[in-house]
């Protein structure tokens, strides 16, 4: 496979600059190395005052009474198991299981993150231990709204009856996943603030990559090819099961948990009784409850394939992972998300090295939040960004060559308190020889936008488009005027594209 990737042209950081992967921001201004050196020198064990071991850090969990919450005790791993280790024989999706916190959307993303070893070491620094230079302090890294941040935590874990409240170690002694979850709970505000979410949010926070969402109820004709390219590109993939009555019916019949997020962990085409069958491998972060339909672990259909294929694929154990044919995957799951460093998997243009340009902005009510009605004079108070699309060698007319992303950056500290506005993008073609600087609405009086995106009240809007050669004006906006919020706008382009 040819080399693929993204070349950062204008971003919120330069390589090695503040907020880059090699120089992340210090969350809560906590410097891991300085804190640890001080603790070792003073022979102290860390207790994090910014995320203390108390009920405020847990939050009001669903299904827990006040009495249950009062029974929670914070215990360090070495007290839970004297043989505690940070990582045992490498990291794997089978190292952990979901607990009492409804954060399957995050844990499914962590499960597929373990396949991306380079990114995994960025998120989970491996030089951490409960033995050498132990001081009760650990750190993890997340991509947060354009920049990488380093998050420090102590190793106190919430427990009930000396069993971890949330994520648990499947072997009882490996704690990297439990502490990673705690670090993410810290940036969310509490464990309670991790409840309910979608894979794109976790994928983004674990990689900073670009994601695409697919409705499986009306699958693309080439969805299998897209997924194959995604696997080759070392992407992260997740899928969501149906909610409500349909979800309960499927769960009762096929053992698929309704309203739940799963990880997609593999693809394979096998020959069964002389016919080609496309199979998808799926993993439940509960670590149990597996599909019991065709091609499940105990299915007789495995007797119809070659012995080496069956031995390679079938593991008859309760680990939450199973195979199902592509048709069943699209029937019994509602949606799928793919996240990768570049958009190459979307159209199969493996040779393309995408350019990426990123800017921060803000809508201010009464100043720069003109809403979505481009015929209204207030519309032109919205922020403006100009981008030039140039020729791409081998690009055919009509090929999608620009991917636009608009991400809201909330002001609230607690994730559960965030209310996202309905956001979208309008794109206008700029007349030739237009001077630089902010453009007046008079230039566009007889022109409608070449792109007017759909509007969604999600954290991120992302759309793939075809733009002809020329200069364009991109206007990010909220559907209703006079909304205040910060945002990040990103343009991925198959040509060099300066975002101004």
Q: Is 104 a catalytic residue?
A: yes
* Tokens encoding 102: 């409804």
> Which of 139, 211, 260, 421 is the catalytic position?
260
Candidate list 104, 330, 339, 340, residue with the active-site label: 104
Residue tagged active-site, from 103, 198, 251, 284: 284
Separation between Cα atoms, residue 383 and residue 364, nearest integer Å: 10
Q: Residue 284 catalytic?
A: yes
Contact assessment for residue 487 and residue 408, using Cβ atoms and an 8 Å cutoff: yes
Cβ(154)–Cβ(186) below 8 Å: no
Residue 125 contacts residue 79 (beta carbons within 8 Å): no
Residue 347 to residues 226, 228, 230: CA-CA distances in angstroms?
A: 8, 12, 10
Contacts of 270 (CB under 8 A, 6+ apart): 276, 277, 279, 305, 309, 313
SS (H, E, C) the chain: CCCCEEEEEECCCCCCCCCECCECEEHHHCCHHHHHHHHHHHCCCCCCCCCCCCHHHHCCCCCCCHHHHHCCEEECHHHHCCCCECCCCCCCHHHEECCCCCCHHHHHHHHHHCCCHHHHHHHCCCCCCCCCCCCCEEEEEEEECCEEEEEEEECCEEEECCEECCCEECCCCECHHHHHHHHHHHHHCCCHHHCCCCHHHHHHHHHCCEEEEEECCCCCCCHHHHHHHHHHCCCEEEEEECCHHHHHHHHHHHCCCCCCEEEEEEEEEEEECCEEEEEEEEECCCCCCCCCCCCCCCCHHHHHCCHHHHHHHCCCCCCCEEEEEHHHHHHHEEEEEEEECCCHHHHCCCCCEEEEEEEEEEECCCCCCCCCCCCCHHHHHCCCEEEEECCCCCCCCCCCCEEEEEEEECCCCCHHHCCCCCEEEEEEECCCCCCCCCCCHHHHCCCCCCEECCCECCCEEEEEECCCCEEEEEEEEECCCCCCEEEEEEEEECCCCCCC
Catalytic residue ranges = 104, 260, 284
């Amino acid at each position: 496979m040819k080399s693929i990737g993204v070349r950062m042209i204008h971003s919120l950081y330069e390589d090695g600059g503040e907020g880059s992967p090699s120089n992340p921001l210090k969350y809560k201004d906590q410097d891991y190395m300085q804190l640890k050196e001080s603790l070792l020198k003073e022979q102290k064990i860390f207790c994090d005052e910014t995320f203390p071991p108390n009920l405020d850090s847990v939050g009001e969990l669903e299904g827990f009474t006040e009495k249950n919450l009062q029974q929670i005790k914070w215990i360090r791993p070495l007290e839970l198991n004297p043989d505690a280790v940070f990582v045992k024989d490498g990291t794997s999706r089978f190292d952990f299981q979901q607990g009492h916190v409804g954060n399957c959307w995050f844990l499914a993303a962590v499960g597929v993150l373990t396949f991306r070893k380079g990114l995994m070491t960025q998120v989970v620094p491996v030089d951490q231990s409960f033995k050498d230079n132990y001081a009760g302090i650990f750190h993890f890294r997340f991509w947060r709204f354009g920049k990488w941040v380093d998050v420090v935590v102590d190793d106190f874990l919430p427990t009930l009856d000396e069993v971890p409240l949330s994520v648990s170690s499947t072997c009882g002694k490996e704690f990297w996943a439990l502490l990673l979850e705690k670090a993410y709970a810290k940036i969310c505000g509490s464990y309670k603030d991790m409840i309910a979410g979608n894979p794109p949010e976790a994928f983004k926070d674990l990689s900073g990559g670009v994601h695409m969402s697919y409705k499986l109820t009306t699958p693309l004709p080439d969805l299998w090819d897209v997924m194959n390219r995604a696997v080759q590109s070392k992407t992260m993939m997740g899928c969501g099961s149906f909610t409500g009555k349909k979800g309960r019916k499927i769960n009762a019949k096929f053992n698929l948990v309704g309203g739940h997020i799963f990880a997609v962990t593999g693809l394979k085409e096998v020959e069964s009784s002389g016919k080609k069958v496309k199979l998808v491998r799926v993993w439940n972060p509960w670590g149990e409850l597996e599909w019991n339909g065709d091609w499940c672990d105990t299915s007789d259909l495995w007797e119809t394939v070659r012995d080496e294929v069956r031995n390679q694929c079938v593991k008859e154990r309760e680990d939450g992972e199973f195979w199902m044919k592509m048709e069943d995957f699209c029937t019994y799951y509602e949606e799928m998300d793919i996240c990768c460093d570049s958009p190459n998997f979307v159209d199969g243009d493996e040779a393309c090295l995408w350019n990426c340009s990123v800017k921060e902005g803000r809508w201010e009510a009464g100043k720069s939040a003109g809403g979505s009605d481009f015929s209204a004079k207030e519309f032109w108070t919205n922020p403006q960004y100009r981008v030039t699309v140039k020729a791409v060698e081998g690009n055919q007319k009509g090929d999608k060559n620009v991917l636009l992303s608009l991400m809201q950056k909330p002001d609230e500290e607690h994730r559960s308190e965030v209310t996202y506005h309905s956001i979208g993008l309008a794109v206008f073609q700029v007349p030739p020889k237009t001077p630089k600087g902010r453009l007046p609405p008079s230039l566009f009086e007889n022109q409608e936008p070449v792109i007017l995106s759909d509007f969604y009240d999600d954290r991120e809007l992302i759309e793939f488009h075809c733009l002809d050669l020329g200069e364009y004006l991109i206007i990010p906006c909220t559907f209703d005027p006079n909304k205040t919020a910060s945002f990040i706008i990103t343009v991925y382009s198959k040509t060099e594209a300066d975002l101004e």
